[in-house]
Amino acid sequence: MGTYVWMRILESRPFRYDFGIRLLSLGHIDAIYARVTQLARGPRVLDVGCGTGNVALRLAARGLHVTGVELSPEMLDVARRKMSPGLEARWVQTGAVELTDHFQPVSFDTIVSVLLFSELSPAEQAETLRQCYLLLRRGGQLIICDEVRAPTLVRRSLHNLVRLPLAAITYALTQTGTGAVRGLEEKVAEAHFTIIRREANRLGDFVLLEAEKQEGSDAEGA
Amino acid sequence: MLRVRDIFLDVLQVCLRVFPWPSEPRLIRVGNPGRDAPVLVTCNYDYTIRRVMRALRGQNVYLLVAPTRGINVWCAAAGGLFTAHQVISILRTSGIGGRVDHRRVILPQLSATGVERKLVEERTGWHVVFGPVYACDLPAYLAAERKTDEMRKVRFPLIRRLEMAVAWAYPISVIGGVVLALGWPHLVLIFVAMVWAVALALFGFFPWLYGPMGYAGQRNPGWTRYLVLFDPVVRRNLLVWLALVVALGVYGTGWGGWNGWSLVGWSLAALFVVLLISMDMAGSTPLHKSGLHEDRLLHIELDSVACRGRAMCWEVCPKNCYVIDTRLHKASIVEPDACVQCGACIVQCPEDALAFVAPGGERIPPETIRTHKLNLLGRRALPVSSRNSEPRPDQDHVNR
């Protein structure tokens, strides 16, 4: 078992995930969770790649009907443990390219996804977006938050300067990391969504995209 | 013919064997595959992919690289990173369905620990077959379309043992060497030599040091299990240490000009390295279960009433622990002590006739093992009882 040492550390990763992401984002992640929660219109919301439920639980606290989808059962265990009494949420353990196996077409008003796309291969990103399109009602809302490549060489260098030591420390402590998504906006547009909002941090290496499945859209994401 | 790049990558990846090395999940055409070409799946650990490709030279097949986070097949499967979902993902996103006329996909046998065959078949319509453990057996397997007992079994030959020795020695000697170089540069060489000698000797002599049984019995309780001296399984590793002390003594008095204290210091350092590598050495090999936690030395319980002898356990067991009575249609466990707790038999059993039983008598049911990958390593025994009430994989669940 070659990567055995790595394995031993990895198995407890979900329990350190929140700490790792907070460290990696220098504490900004809470503001990002809050912003996504604020933008989501609902009332039927799907959180794809919900992890330990940070956004899903905030949405549930707003009274929205939340379904959290996550591949890792351990992450979902943490999410369930974090649920305060009185909150209601539905948790489904499955992959991002298996959404249509679980949910009916046009059954959600909003789909959110924070820090998931950077964990998917390009082919998985395209397939996940296609399925999200099918699941959203017309006029439905897609919110994606993820790390992207900074737009200019100067910014990319700055990003690396700040990011690399931080990523190394975070990885050593918590085995949590993220990678940049390439061409996220193009992929969202290719899946027939219309981007209506784009917010980025100063370095331009983290974006929030809000997109819509247009009312008059004929394409059903074939 | 090996190219320079391949040799360079081989050396580098063996040195960094304990770290993940991801490669993009994709479809690879090997040779000139037609519409009836076999479809194989592997992990996206680059070293594995390159070895599989080498083994498949001359074949005409499709190879699907599943997204397992750059971790090898068995570790990813045992750690929940190579499951039915990764196989479903690559079957759906690679476009393989449009390239072949059949729906039969061959997975590496060791992925059976993580990939629930039934789930892949229900979701995708592909028929899942577990091929041989090792890529080098693929040509013979593809030609005969059946697995021999040897193809089913994990092996730990000298070349793989030396690979593990390098995987340990390289990071320890680099980290220790850098630290020493900051204050005591004259000690770097002897330290590095010592680390490599310990690692090569421990893994080189592994079959003689450990014997065939591993942790079939119990280990010592509490912290004493970390002391090689008292551990019945790894006590013989002290022979390696003693040999090293003699070598250090010869070097120190002959060339090093050491005094008595230097020799004591180096002997203790050597003992530390022996202890470090021995801590869970058997568990880091394919042959034995991990012995770090005696409460996790599980055994397998077979419900012979439920068993219908469909032989999935026999098909996926990497230690050939099972035999099947084809007349009575029943499985039986003939080598219970050889079990490495990979859990593949439990995950795959169509009748749910198998389960783990913890030393305290708690039964860990198949559905828990399928979701939480409690096998081989890890947090498995920790919340055993609370996990019994967890939902099944893929089950929708509403919390109130």
Tokens 């089913």 label which residue?
B152
Q: How many contacts, defined by CB atoms under 8 Å, are there between A and B?
A: 122
* CB proximity B215 to A under 8 Å: no
* CB proximity B94 to A under 8 Å: yes
Tokens found for residue B196: 């490599």
Tokens found for residue A104: 């009916």
* Residue B75: predicted pLDDT: 86
| B113 close to B104: Cβ distance less than 8 angstroms | no
Q: What is the rounded end-to-end Cα distance, in angstroms, of chain B? A: 62
Q: Which residues pair with B398 in a beta bridge?
A: A90
Nearest of B110, B252, B279, B127 to residue B194 by alpha carbon: B252
**Confidence label for B115 from pLDDT (cuts 50, 70 and 90):** very high
Residue predicted with more confidence, B238 or B354: B354
Mean pLDDT of B148-160: 92
Chain B hits for A101, Cβ within 8 Å: 123
- Shortest CA gap A56–chain B (Å): 13
Residue B73 has pLDDT above 90, yes or no: yes
**Confidence label for B230 from pLDDT (cuts 50, 70 and 90):** low
Q: What is the pLDDT of residues A108-130, one digit of tens each?
A: 999 999 989 988 989 999 999 99
* Residue A222: predicted pLDDT: 40
* CB proximity A179 to B under 8 Å: no
Mean pLDDT of A46-66: 94
* Residue B221: predicted pLDDT: 59
* Residue A15: predicted pLDDT: 65
Q: How far apart (Å, rounded) are the C-alpha atoms in residues A111 and A136?
A: 7
Q: What is the pLDDT of residues A128-178, one digit of tens each?
A: 999 999 999 999 999 999 988 877 888 878 877 777 777 777 666 655 556
Alpha helix stretches (DSSP H) within B225-300: 237-251, 260-278
Q: How far apart (Å, rounded) are the C-alpha atoms in residues B82 and B22?
A: 13
* Residue B260: predicted pLDDT: 85
**Confidence label for B379 from pLDDT (cuts 50, 70 and 90):** very low
**Confidence label for B227 from pLDDT (cuts 50, 70 and 90):** low
Tokens found for residue B264: 């004591």
> How many CA atoms lie less than 13 Å away from B38 in the CB half-sphere?
20
Q: Angle B166-B167-B173 (CA atoms, 0-180°, nearest 5)?
A: 75
Tokens 């055994």 label which residue?
B299
Tokens found for residue B188: 């770097």
Cβ distance of A88 and B398 shorter than 8 Å: yes
Residue predicted with more confidence, A17 or B46: B46
Residue B2 has pLDDT above 90, yes or no: no
Q: What is the pLDDT of residues A7-44, one digit of tens each?
A: 445 545 666 777 777 776 776 788 889 999 999 998 99
Say what percent of chain A tops pLDDT 90.
Answer: 50
* Residue B398: predicted pLDDT: 44
Mean pLDDT of B12-37: 92
Q: Kindly provide the residue ranges of all beta strands, DSSP E only, lying in B37-140, ordered along the sequence.
A: 39-42, 61-65, 104-107, 127-130
Say what percent of chain B tops pLDDT 90.
Answer: 52
Mean pLDDT of B9-36: 92
In sequence order, the 6+-apart residues with CB closer than 8 A to the CB of B301 are: B354, B355, B356, B357, B363
Q: How far apart (Å, rounded) are the C-alpha atoms in residues B264 and B246?
A: 12
* CB proximity A10 to B under 8 Å: yes
* Residue A4: predicted pLDDT: 45
Q: Which of A5, A7, A128 to mutate to test the interface with B (most CBs of B within 10 A)?
A: A7
* CB proximity A7 to B under 8 Å: yes
Q: Kindly provide the residue ranges of all beta strands, DSSP E only, lying in chain B, ordered along the sequence.
A: 26-30, 39-42, 61-65, 104-107, 127-130, 299-302, 322-325, 330-333, 354-357, 363-364, 397-399
Q: What is this model's ipTM?
A: 0.84
Say what percent of chain B tops pLDDT 70.
Answer: 85
Residue B397 has pLDDT above 60, yes or no: no
Residue B105 has pLDDT above 80, yes or no: yes
Cβ distance of B399 and A72 shorter than 8 Å: no
Q: What is the DSSP letter of B353?
A: -
Which residue on chain B is closest to A66 by alpha carbon?
B398
Tokens 């979900």 label which residue?
A14
- Shortest CA gap B165–chain A (Å): 11
Buried/exposed A18-57: b ≥16 CB within 10 Å, e otherwise: bebbbbbbeeebeebbebbbebbebebbbbbbbbbbbbbb
Mean pLDDT of A203-218: 81
* CB proximity A202 to B under 8 Å: no
- Shortest CA gap B387–chain A (Å): 9
The secondary element (H helix, E strand) that includes residue B174 is: helix B158-183
| B393 close to B117: Cβ distance less than 8 angstroms | no
Mean pLDDT of B25-41: 96
Amino acid at B10: D
Q: What is the pLDDT of residues B342-354, one digit of tens each?
A: 889 999 999 999 9
Nearest of A27, A51, A25, A187 to residue A112 by alpha carbon: A51
Residue A107 has pLDDT above 90, yes or no: yes
| B65 close to B23: Cβ distance less than 8 angstroms | yes
- Shortest CA gap B283–chain A (Å): 9
Q: Which residues pair with A44 in a beta bridge?
A: A65
In sequence order, the 6+-apart residues with CB closer than 8 A to the CB of B26 are: A121, A123, B64, B65, B94
pTM: 0.86
Residue B58 has pLDDT above 80, yes or no: yes
* Residue A67: predicted pLDDT: 97
Chain A hits for B391, Cβ within 8 Å: 93
Interface of B with A in 330-369 (CB under 8 A): none
**Confidence label for B386 from pLDDT (cuts 50, 70 and 90):** very low
Q: What is the pLDDT of residues B261-315, one digit of tens each?
A: 888 988 898 888 888 888 777 777 888 777 666 667 788 999 999 999 999 999 9
Cβ distance of A123 and B399 shorter than 8 Å: no
* CB proximity A3 to B under 8 Å: yes
Q: How far apart (Å, rounded) are the C-alpha atoms in residues B345 and B318?
A: 10
Cβ distance of B167 and A2 shorter than 8 Å: yes
Cβ distance of A92 and B93 shorter than 8 Å: no
